[in-house]
Amino acid sequence: MKDGVCLINAARGGVINEHDLIEALNTGKVKFAALDVFENEPTPREDLLKHEKLASTPHVGAATSEAQDRIGVELADQILSILQPA
């Protein structure tokens, strides 16, 4: 890829090798990065979070009311399946 690219990942943690990302940010290969997912969630690398060329935001993909409803129904179904006699 060209030097000075901007990189955004809002898909899945681990898609981007964070060690290589830090190196690419430090050398200028990547000019700027924005992430809302990390390899080691909920405790991402501190050196990555504090990097001056990185913007990070919380991953809120599951924060919609529809997603929360679906999670609640799935959880209730799992609890019922455990509690039901065999």
Q: Which of 12, 23, 70, 74 is catalytic?
A: 12
Q: Who has greater pLDDT, 27 or 86?
A: 27
- Domain assignment present for residue 70? The answer is no
Catalytic residue among 19, 41, 70, 74: 41
Residue 25 domain-assigned (yes or no): yes
| Known catalytic residue at 59 | yes
Note the pLDDT of residue 54: 96
Q: pLDDT at position 15, please?
A: 93
The single residue of 39, 45, 51, 59 carrying the catalytic annotation is: 59
Domain that residue 49 falls in:
5-61
* 24 located within any domain: yes
Domain count, the chain: 1
Q: What's residue 86's pLDDT?
A: 66
Whether the predicted pLDDT of 18 surpasses 90: yes
Residue 32 has pLDDT above 70, yes or no: yes
In this prediction, residue 61 has a pLDDT band, given cuts at 50, 70 and 90, of low
H/E stretch holding 30 reads strand 30-35
Q: Is 47 within a domain?
A: yes
